Structure 1
Amino acid sequence: MSNIDKMITQYNTRKNMYEQYTTYLESLLTALIEESDIHYHTISGRTKSERSLYEKLKKGTHKYKTLDDITDIVGVRIVTHFASDVSEIAELIEREFQIDRENSVDKRKQMEVNQFGYMSLHYVAELDPKGLDSDEYDDVTGVKAEIQICSILQHAWAEIEHDFGYKVEKQVPWEVRRAFSRIASLLETADLEFDRIRNRMKEDVKNEDE
């Protein structure tokens, strides 16, 4: 039996646990964000399918030695209305979870000054054992999950780009890459303007109350 086959077998043994953890994590994040009075658009969880896992393992044969090396079997995506809320939710996750810095990516900070693209924050995180009051979640202690945070405009950009079906950048014609960059720059501008409008409205309300 190949190492990939062994990991697939182990995945199927753990699948129920992964699915339960996905549901729990989605509920936990929803509760934490609502308790912090942070507005959001959607919070959705997904458990990586066997087929998707197999394709990932085939591409990274030498990268993944054990199933625990796969950090996105459990995933939750948080979509906000405003770009500034991404940072607020990030602070919350930093407080409540143990963060795997090596595998976490802040795509907002990876852009060059003349570059435009999908701007999101991807955390690889696990539950903080100190925050768990019961032994009910012992099975998921140490299990990593990917938590993605992005604005609704960035989410739309990513979904549409994904729908075109390009798997790697070299498959994308130059003209299409340029078009995606132009759209990304417009969406980044729109994100900034929506935040400015919200801040202005808050100031107006504050001034009226004084």
Structure 2
Amino acid sequence: MTMGSELRDQYRDRLPTFKRLEEEVRFSVEAALRNRHIKVHAIQSRVKTLDSFIEKVERKEYADAFNDVPDIVGIRIVCLFLSDLRKIGDALRDVFEVTSEENKIENEDVASFGYMSIHYICQLGDANSGPRYNSIKDLQFEVQVRTIVMDAWANVSHHLDYKGEASIPRQLRRDFHALSGLFYVADQHFELFVREAADAERDAIRDVANENLDDVDLNVETLTAYLRARYPDRNSTTKMVMSEFVEALALTGFKTIGSLDAAMREAEPISLAFEKDRSERNKNYRLTAVGMVNVGIRQLYPEYSENRRRIQSERVGRDKHDQ
């Protein structure tokens, strides 16, 4: 039997174990990100195929194939922002034993071909102990972390089929590097935007508390701050719902928090009466902060309901298109 045949037989024998490791690692990664409230675009996992495994062993001339190939099981986390890279790295170190780390973002040229990511070689941590984990406890696996922009560049450059600088026709190199720079700038500006959004949220809380409400523009951040201040004991809602709410209010003619506040003096009794009527049939019924505005404004401004339906319909249409 040739060495290649032996490796193939060993791989097939161990494949169920690799699959188990993939499942455990993916479960732990998803739980760690969820517990830390880190939103990500995608989590992908795979066990390296037999042909890919054999090709790597032969190309690298590994003597101890199953110990020398650290990425037989691989996880890729595609996050949203550059600042998430550090948060995810901290989460991985808390959950797993990280044996090595390679930063192919800071250490690579901006025009590198598809490998802009951070690679962690890991093993299961102390929390994964007991008979259930005996067969996979000491196995290595790789976790790659990159932003959604880096992932897009990796996919685009991969499909261009240029594997390096020498492969690109001279007349295309300038455009190629310009494209690479655009992806880099996009990542930086997404990060800048998310930081400025956090600043806008803090500014909105200050403005609603301290300034003339007629001077405070209506937007998601200022409306959220206003509702928290006016109805601190009522539940809030998601940012997506709040955004649709703002769009419908703007179409109805509300441009400032002051104009909405003035309307709420008349609308709030309508909302409270609606809530009281519903609570007589269901004692647990209670309007959210958005509901307080929504019910009253709907009665006072008939065009608002149509505007709200229009905004929601547009969102449903986009969702169906994206599926």
Q: What does residue 116 of structure 1 align with?
A: 111
Shift of 1:170: 6.6
The answer as to 2:11 corresponding to 1:16 is no
The answer as to 2:59 corresponding to 1:87 is no
Q: Secondary structure at the match of 1:139?
A: coil
Structure 2 segments unaligned to the other structure (5+ residues):
207-323
Does the 8 A contact of 1:76 with 1:146 survive in 2? yes
Q: What does residue 250 of structure 2 align with?
A: none
Does the 8 A contact of 2:40 with 2:79 survive in 1? yes
Does the 8 A contact of 2:28 with 2:95 survive in 1? no
Deviates more, 1:77-86 or 1:90-99: 90-99
In structure 1, C-alpha distance between the alignment counterparts of 2:27 and 2:176, rounded to whole Å:
34
> Once superposed, what is the RMSD of the aligned Cα atoms?
2.0
Q: Secondary structure at the match of 1:110?
A: coil
Q: Secondary structure at the match of 2:135?
A: helix
Q: Secondary structure at the match of 1:8?
A: helix
Does the 8 A contact of 1:10 with 1:67 survive in 2? no
- Which structure's residues are more often helix, by fraction? 2
- After superposition, what is the alpha-carbon deviation per residue over 1:40-94, rounded to whole angstroms, capped at 9, x for unaligned? 0000100111111121122122x34331111111000000111211111011112
The answer as to 2:190 corresponding to 1:194 is yes
2:122 to 109, 121, 125: 125
Q: Identity percentage over the alignment?
A: 24
After TM superposition, list the pairs within 5 Å mapping 1:93-172 onto structure 2. Answer: 93-101=92-100, 104-111=101-108, 115-117=110-112, 118-128=115-125, 130-166=126-162, 168-169=163-164, 172=167
Please give the TM-score of this superposition, normalised by the length of structure 1. Answer: 0.87
Q: Which amino acid in 1 is paired with 2:65?
A: T
Does the 8 A contact of 2:74 with 2:142 survive in 1? yes
Structure 1 segments unaligned to the other structure (5+ residues):
none
Deviates more, 1:87-96 or 1:41-50: 87-96
Does the 8 A contact of 2:77 with 2:145 survive in 1? yes
Shift of 1:133: 4.7
2:202 to 196, 200, 206: 206
- After superposition, what is the alpha-carbon deviation per residue over 1:90-144, rounded to whole angstroms, capped at 9, x for unaligned? 111122211222xx310122135xx43342101111111x212532111111111
Q: What does residue 36 of structure 1 align with?
A: 36
Please give the TM-score of this superposition, normalised by the length of structure 2. Answer: 0.58
Query: 1:90/1:178 Cα in 2 relative to 1: closer, same or farther (>3 Å)?
Result: farther
